[in-house]
Amino acid sequence: MKPHSMEKSGLYLFSLFGFEVRLDWSWFFLAILVAWSLSVSYFPFNYPDLDTSTYWTMGIIGAIGLFLSIIFHELCHSLVGRHYGLPIAGIKLFIFGGVAEMREMPPSPKAEFMMAIAGPAFSIVIGILLYILFRAGTLANWPDEANGIIRYLGLINIIVGIFNLLPAFPLDGGRVLRSFLWWWKDDLRWATQVAARAGAGFGFGMILFGLLLVIQGAFISGLWMFLLGFFLQYLSKTSYQELLIRELFGNESIRKYVKTDPVAVNANITLQALVDDYFYKYYHKLYPVMEDEKLVGSISFNDIKQTQKEKWPSLRVREIMQTCPSENVIDADTKVIRVLQLMSAQNNGRLIVTKAGKLYGIITLKDLMSVIFIRMNLEIGEGERS
């Protein structure tokens, strides 16, 4: 048996002021790219008399410094969010930076503004302080190796702070814009729609600028700008859609959307029987596991896939199943919004639902998306859906 607790996506690093810091695997690409560009381009251009190993050491330290800067940038968001009573799931770093993972919307325009401005304010202030330190180090003839890293971290923090202040939702500046619009008209949906359209516009502009850079020969910079623009466009649209979904469902639970009387498997059957009689018959990727009419766990397509085929005839389901509580099991009173968040974080479109500790049914992302599509088209005007 494999015991599981409710897990969050990404590699857990550490906890900071009670916030879990996690790393998405895509971040390693960013780390390698930053270290490489610093080592072969930035530092050799600014400090031409050092050796290759020194450049690489400086590049790696610079990448680590950027990594820590982003963490503290997001920590500022998280601490302010906590002050205003917002539940923060944690801090996550990924290929395009970092994010403080909010589970709910800010309660007021003031809370939105204060939380949004905290990160860029930290980045700009720490950047200025580091640049002052660099100037002091220059006057004191500090080694180029140390002074070069300090200068880079000062500049990159200022750049990160200013970039995040662009009024392009869901960047911090876009959230600042939304907070003003929300305060002005007292209409969160309208404010989000306007800010999201601004974000999509900025994203489109970045895509065009990226293509122009590629045409001019700056392939890496152009490609990076293109990807950032594409990602910003995507996030601006999905962030607005998320707000609409929150308004549609509010505090509604998943109870009425659950498929009751689901197909379940006995804990004592062999994996071969499971494959032949369930996976090849119903084609579900996840099944509840029962024993003596009690829910004891779950078994998924991935559990089978990770087990050697030669062992299927002898191994029992109970030997490889995930025991309850599991990341695949939720309560019937869980909010729809929370279920969507869990499915997204775990990349899991099928969850087992319990009621009073007993098997109640199955909820799937496909079913929820159908409900969302129907309700959004019937309850929200066409002009307000994008």
Residue of 74, 310, 327, 379 with catalytic role:
74
Tell me which range, 2-11, 15-24, 270-279, 377-386, is most confidently predicted by mean pLDDT. 270-279
- Two tokens at 226? 């293109």
Residue scoring higher pLDDT (153 or 103): 153
Mean pLDDT of the chain: 88
Task: Verify whether residue 74 is a known catalytic residue.
Answer: yes
pLDDT digits (tens, 9 = 90+) for 175-190: 999 999 999 999 998 9
Per-residue pLDDT, 7? 41
| pLDDT confidence tier of residue 382, bands split at 50, 70 and 90 | low
Residue 155: pLDDT above 90?
yes
Decide which of 189, 218, 249 is a domain's last residue.
Answer: 249
CA 235 to chain centre: 11
Instruction: Judge contact between 33 and 67, C-beta under 8 A.
Output: no
Local structure of 379: helix, strand or coil: helix
Q: What is the pTM of this model?
A: 0.80
pLDDT digits (tens, 9 = 90+) for 56-82: 999 999 999 999 999 999 999 999 999
Asked whether residue 276 is marked as a ligand-binding residue, the answer is no
In a domain, 385, yes or no: no
245 shares a domain with 303: no
Phi, psi angles (nearest 5°) of residue 333: -90, 5
CA 74 vs CA 15, 77, 101, 152: distances in Å? 13, 5, 9, 20
Residue scoring higher pLDDT (385 or 319): 319
Instruction: Judge contact between 259 and 287, C-beta under 8 A.
Output: no
- Two tokens at 347? 């990349």
| pLDDT confidence tier of residue 325, bands split at 50, 70 and 90 | low
298 shares a domain with 365: yes
Asked whether residue 4 is marked as a ligand-binding residue, the answer is no
Q: Which domain holds residue 191?
A: 2-249
* Greatest extent of the chain over all pairs of C-alpha atoms, in Å: 78
87 shares a domain with 157: yes
Please report, as a single letter, which amino acid is at residue 282: Y
The count of structural domains within the chain is: 2
Instruction: Judge contact between 212 and 203, C-beta under 8 A.
Output: no
In a domain, 14, yes or no: yes
Per-residue pLDDT, 9? 64
Residue 295, strand partner residues: 290
Per-residue pLDDT, 2? 36
Per-residue pLDDT, 29? 85
Per-residue pLDDT, 298? 87
Per-residue pLDDT, 344? 82
* Owner of token pair 């829910």: 295
Residue 8: pLDDT above 60?
no
359 shares a domain with 214: no
